[in-house]
Amino acid sequence: MPSAEAAPVGMTTLAVRALAVLAAIGLAAVLFWWWWTFDFVVGNGYMPWSEAGVCLVRDSDICALAKALCLGSHPRAFVSYQATAFWIGAALLSTSLWANAWRNPRAALD
C-alpha cells in the first residue's frame, strides 16, 4: 500500500519548478513588452498610465490607437503587444504554483 507521502503521478518537482521559473520569466518579459510599448505613448501625453494599465490585461480600441501612435518609435514586432500574452503568462505561473502546492501540501502551508 502506498504511503500518504508518496508523490502523485504527473509532473516531477524539478519540472514544476522549471515551469514556475519559465512562467515567471515569461510574465516579466510580457510586462517589459507592455511597458516598452506604452511608455512612449504615456510619455507624449497621448494617454495616462491608468488607461495604459488597462491595455496590459484587455485589448480595446483605445489600446489599438495607442499602439498605432507608437509605430514611429518601435519596431512593429514590439508594438503588436496583445493582452492575451499577459493572461497566458499568468495562467502558466498560477498552474505551476498550484502544482507545487499540490505536490507538497505541507510546504504550501509553511
HEC string of 2-69? CCCCCCCCCCCHHHHHHHHHHHHHHHHHHHHHHHHHHHHHHHCCCCCHHHHHHHHHCCCHHHHHHHHH
At 60, list the grid cell: 480595446
User: pLDDT at position 83, please?
Assistant: 83
User: pLDDT at position 7, please?
Assistant: 47
The radius of gyration of the chain's CA atoms, rounded to the nearest angstrom, is: 19
At 54, list the grid cell: 488597462
User: pLDDT at position 1, please?
Assistant: 45
The angle subtended at Cα 29 by Cα 77 and Cα 50, nearest 5°, is 85
pTM reported for the whole predicted model:
0.67
User: pLDDT at position 75, please?
Assistant: 60
User: pLDDT at position 72, please?
Assistant: 66
**Weakly modelled stretches of the chain, pLDDT under 70:** 1-11, 71-80, 103-110
User: pLDDT at position 4, please?
Assistant: 47
User: pLDDT at position 10, please?
Assistant: 56
